[in-house]
Chains A and B, each alone.
Chain A
C-alpha cells in the first residue's frame, strides 16, 4: 500500500530515476526533488522547512559538476544527506555546567512529551558523571505528577524535593536552598506540561527563569510530533530562549522529521534522545544518524563512499547495461563478487543498504566462506561455460566440482543462485532500476 511505503523506498524510487544516466537535466532533478519533498513531508518535516530545504538542494544539484558526474544519482543523494546533516548541526552538544553551583536544569514542553521520565534519565546520566542530582517537583497540576517524579527519582537513585501544590517559582527557589544545604550540585526542575498558547502557564515558566539563574532550559519534544512542532518550538523559544532540545520516544518507528523542523526554526542544539522506557535509555544526539533516519536510508553515505572508492566506474556502467538487457553471465557474476569483496565485509555492507538488513535477508547473514567457494567454482569453469551457463550438463558440473574441490550440489546451488539473480535483474530492468 502506497501510504505505508516507507521513506527509504520512496527516496530510492525517486533517485532510481536519476541513476544510471550519464547526464541530468534540470527537469529531471526537479522531478526527483518533488518526490523527496513528499518523502520529507511523510517524515513529518514541516512543509515550509521542507520547501526551503528542497530549494537549496535543487540549486546545488543543478550545478555543473553534477551534470558531468558519472553517477549523478549518487551525487544527489550525497548532497541531500550533506545538507540535512548541515541543518541538523555538527557534532554532539553537551550539557552546560554552571561555574557557580548548583547547575539548574529546567525541563519544559507540552503535555505527554515525556518530561518526568526524562528527568530520571538525565539524573541517571549526570550521576554517572559524578554529579549529585536533585529532582524538584514543579508540576503542581497533573494528578500524581509529584508521586511519579518521586518514584522516578528513586529509580535513578537521585535526591527528591517537593512542596506540594504551591507556586512553582517558590518550589524552585527552595530547591536551590535545599541543594546548597545538602550538597547537591545539580538540580533538575520538572515542570507541568503546558500548551504554548496558554499565556498564564507560559508566564509561570518565564517567572522561574527570571527569578533563578537557570543553566539549561531544555524543551522536551515527542519525536512523533507533526507539522505543529515548529509552532510549539518557536513559542517556547520565544518565551524562554531555550538552550537546547531533547527528543523523546525515538524508539518508536517515527522518522522524526520534527527534529529537523525544530532545529531549522530555533537553531538550538538537540542534546539528547530518549530511546526506551528504562532509566538508562538515553542517548546523545548524533546529527548524521538523525539525518539518515529522516531519510530512512541507513548509512547510505558510507556505502556510497566505499562504492566510489572501490568500484571501477566504467565497469559499473557496463554492468548496469548488462543488467538491463539481461546479457548478464557467470563472468559478470564473478566480477560482482570481486567488486563486492573489495568493498569490505559483506554483512557490514548489507547493513548499510536501506531496508535490506532485516527484511530481505530474513535475519540470515551472508556466509563469506560460501562466497569464496562460489568464486572458486566459477574459476573452475571454461570460458565458454561462463558466458553460456546453459551448456552446463551433469558431466561438466562433475568436472567443475572436482576441479574446485567442491561437490556437484555446491555447483548446482551456485547456478541456481546465478539464475535467480539474473531473473531478479530482468525484473528490475523492467519495473524499476536498481537503487544504485
Chain B
C-alpha cells in the first residue's frame, strides 16, 4: 500500500497541475521575486495560511542565499526540507490499555475514522471496543455499528439523546472487566465556539480520567483537509478543553491539501498522527511527513 502511493493517487489531478507549475517554476533556475511570488501562491492554495507561508519562504530564501543555490533540483530539495521540518514529529504511539477520545467539529469524519482506527488496531493484534458517545446526531450510533461490524469489534451504545458520559462509563467498565487493549470513544461533532458542548466534552474526558486512571490516555482531533484557517481555532480551543495528543487529517483523497496543519504543528506543537485517504476501511495511514509534503507540492 504505502502512504505515498495512495496519497499521490488521490491527488493525481491537482498534483499534476501544481506539480507541473512547480517544475516549471524550479526549471527556470532563476530564484528571483517572481519565483517566490509563484511559490507563495502554491503554498497559499494548499491552505498553509499567509503567516506560515511567509515564514517558509523566508527560511527558504535564507538557505538558498547562504548556499548560493542556483540548481533547480537542489532548490526543490531545500523547499521540501523546510516543509518537512515543520511537520516532522514522533510517530503516534501509546501503551495498552489505552483510552482514545476522538473529537472534532461536525462532518469531519469522526465516526469513519473510529471505524478505520478500530480496524488498524485489530490488525495489530489488539483487542478493541468502541463507545458510541455521539448520542446527538441522528443515526450516529447505527453508523458506528456498521463500522464496528466491519472491523469486528465490540460496541457499547445507548439510545439517541442519552448521556454520552454514561456510554463512556459503560464502555470503560466493560473494557476493564474484559482486559480490552484499546477503548475508542466516538463523540458528537461540536463547533468549538459552543460553550455548553465543549463543557460536555470536558465532562466525558473527566469521566475517563476518573474511571480508568491506570489506562494510557490519548485525545485525537479529527480535521477535514478541506477546512481552511478555521482549523487553527478548532485545534486551539479543543486543546484548551481536553489537551490534544494528535490530529487525524481526513479527506486527503480529494484535491484539498490540509496545509493548515503546518500552521498548527508549527505554533501549537500538536502532531499529525494519522491521515484519511479514502472511504475504505484500510484508508487510514500513520502520518509520514515526507510523503505528505510530497503530496502538497
A: residues with CB less than 8 A from B are: 1-4, 38, 41-44, 46-48, 110-114, 116, 141-145, 147-148, 150-152, 155, 195-197, 222, 224-229, 231-232, 248-249, 251-255, 257-258, 277
* Cross-chain contact B41 with A110 (CB below 8 angstroms): no
**A42 contacts B229, C-beta separation under 8 Å:** yes
In contact, A148 and B263 (Cβ under 8 angstroms): no
> Once the chains bind, are A253 and B146 in contact (CB under 8 Å)?
no
Could you tell me which residues of chain B, from 240 to 258, have a CB within 8 Å of some CB in chain A?
251, 253-257
Is B105 a contact of A224 with CB atoms below 8 Å?
Answer: yes
Q: Assess whether B105 is in contact with A228, with CB atoms less than 8 Å apart.
A: no
Task: Determine whether the beta carbon of B228 is less than 8 Å from that of A226.
Answer: yes
Asked if residues B230 and A44 are in contact (CB atoms below 8 Å), the reply is yes
Q: Which residues of B contact A197 (CB under 8 A)?
A: 13, 254-255
| Nearest 4 interchain pairs by C-beta | A226-B228, A112-B107, A44-B228, A143-B146
**Restricting to B134-156, which residues have a CB under 8 Å from any CB of A?**
136-140, 142-143, 145-147
Q: Which residue of B lies closest to A143 (CB)?
A: B146
Whether B50 pairs with A253 at a CB distance below 8 angstroms is no
Does chain A have a CB within 8 A of B295?
A: no
The distance in angstroms between the C-alpha atoms of A354 and B114, with both chains bound, is 40
Residue picked from A1, A226, A258, most chain B C-beta under 10 Å: A226
- Per the CB 8 Å criterion, the residue count for chain B at the interface is 50
- Binary interface encoding of chain B residues 264-297 relative to chain A, with 1 for a CB under 8 A from any of its CBs, else 0: 0001000000000001000000000000000000
The one of A3, A113, A257 in contact with B107, judged by C-beta atoms closer than 8 angstroms, is A113
- Interface of B, helix, strand, loop or mixed by DSSP: loop
Asked if B139 contacts A144 (CB within 8 A), the reply is: yes
Can you add 12 more A-B contacts, CB < 8 Å, to A144-B146, A197-B13, A227-B45?
A2-B51, A4-B236, A111-B109, A111-B279, A114-B106, A141-B279, A144-B143, A225-B226, A228-B47, A231-B14, A249-B191, A253-B193
Q: How far is the CA of A155 from the CA of B253 in the complex (A)?
A: 34
A224 to B233 Cα, complex, angstroms? 11
Q: Are B44 and A196 in touch, CB under 8 angstroms?
A: no
- Could you tell me the distance between the alpha carbons of A251 and B191 in the complex, rounded to whole angstroms? 8
CB distance A142 to B251 under 8 Å?
A: no
The answer to whether A152 and B232 touch across the interface, beta carbons within 8 angstroms, is no
The minimal Cβ–Cβ distance linking A173 to chain B, given in whole angstroms, is 25
- B97 interfacial by beta-carbon distance below 8 Å: no
List 25 A-B pairs, Cβ < 8 Å: A42-B49, A42-B50, A112-B109, A112-B224, A116-B138, A143-B143, A143-B145, A143-B147, A144-B140, A147-B139, A148-B137, A148-B138, A151-B160, A195-B251, A195-B253, A222-B227, A224-B224, A225-B228, A227-B45, A228-B257, A231-B256, A249-B105, A249-B106, A254-B228, A277-B106
Mask for B29-53, Cβ within 8 A of A = 1, else 0? 0000000000001001111011100
A2 to B211, CA, bound (A): 40
Q: Could you say which residues of chain A place their CB within 8 Å of the CB of B51?
A: 2-3
Q: Which residues of A contact B231 (CB under 8 A)?
A: 224
Q: Contacting A228 at CB < 8 Å: which of B138, B142, B192, B254?
A: B254
Across the interface, B255 reaches (CB within 8 A) one of A112, A228, A249, A254, namely A228
Q: Among A41, A152, A251, which residue has the most Cβ atoms of chain B within 10 A?
A: A41
Task: Please report the C-alpha to C-alpha distance between residue A180 and residue B135 in the assembled complex, in whole angstroms.
Answer: 36
- CA–CA, A265 to B49, complex, Å? 21
Q: In whole angstroms, how far apart are the Cα atoms of A227 and B49 in the complex?
A: 10
- Contact across chains for B255 and A252 when beta carbons are under 8 A apart: no
Q: Which residues of B contact A141 (CB under 8 A)?
A: 279
Smallest beta-carbon distance B21→chain A, Å: 13
A227-B46, A251-B191 given as contacts; is B138 within 8 A of A152 (CB)?
Answer: yes
Name the CB-closest residue of A to B43: A47
Instruction: Report yes or no: A4 in contact with B233, Cβ–Cβ below 8 A.
Output: yes
Q: Are B224 and A222 in contact (CB under 8 A)?
A: yes
